[in-house]
Amino acid sequence: MMTLSQPQMEQLTELFRCGASDASQALSVWLGRHASVCVDQLKQFNLEEATDSLGPADATLCACIMGVTGGISGQMLFCFDDESGLLLCDVLLGRDGVVGRDGVATEWGELETSSAMETANIVGCAYLNSLANAMPSFSSPVADYLGKTSHVWVPTPPQFVRDFAASILQFAVMNQAAEFDTVLVAQTRFQIDDQPVAWTLLLIPDANSLTSIINSTTAPRP
Sign of CA dihedral 107, 111, 113, 117: negative
Residue 164 has pLDDT above 90, yes or no: yes
Q: Quick check: 95 and 105 in contact, CB under 8 A?
A: yes
Q: 19-34 burial by CB neighbour count: b if 16+ within 10 A, else e?
A: bbbbbbebbeebbeee
Query: φ and ψ at 195, to 5 degrees?
Result: -115, 135
d(CA 174, CA 206) in angstroms, rounded, equals: 9
Residue 209 within a domain: yes
Total number of domains in the chain: 1
pLDDT at 63: 95
End-to-end Cα distance, the chain:
25
* pLDDT tens digits, 20-48: 888 899 999 999 889 998 887 788 887 77
Does an H or E element contain 47, and which?
helix 47-51
Residue 143 within a domain: yes
* pLDDT tens digits, 98-112: 444 455 557 899 989
pLDDT at 87: 86
Residue 121, classed as helix, strand or coil, is helix
Task: Please state, in angstroms and as integers, the Cα–Cα distance from residue 67 to each residue in 73, 78, 85, 110, 158, following that order.
Answer: 7, 12, 21, 22, 8
Query: φ and ψ at 187, to 5 degrees?
Result: -110, 135
Residue 15 within a domain: yes
Q: Which of 205, 169, 139 is nearest to 2 (CA)?
A: 205
Residue 16 within a domain: yes
Residue 221 within a domain: no
Residue 127 within a domain: yes
* pLDDT tens digits, 56-76: 888 899 999 999 887 778 899
Residue 101 within a domain: yes
For 163-210, the three-class secondary structure string (H helix, E strand, C coil) is EEHHHHHHHHHHHHHCCCCEEEEEEEEEEECCEEEEEEEEEEECHHHH
- 210-41-172-86 Cα dihedral, nearest 10 degrees: -150
Q: Which domain does 180 fall in, by range? A: 6-216
Residue 89, exposed/middle/buried by CB under 10 A (0-12, 13-18, 19+)?
buried
Q: Quick check: 164 and 61 in contact, CB under 8 A?
A: yes
Residue 169 within a domain: yes
* pLDDT tens digits, 171-201: 888 888 777 777 778 888 898 888 888 898 8
Sign of CA dihedral 178, 179, 180, 183: negative
Q: CATH number, domain at 208?
A: 3.40.1550.10
Beta pairing class for 182-192 and 35-46: antiparallel
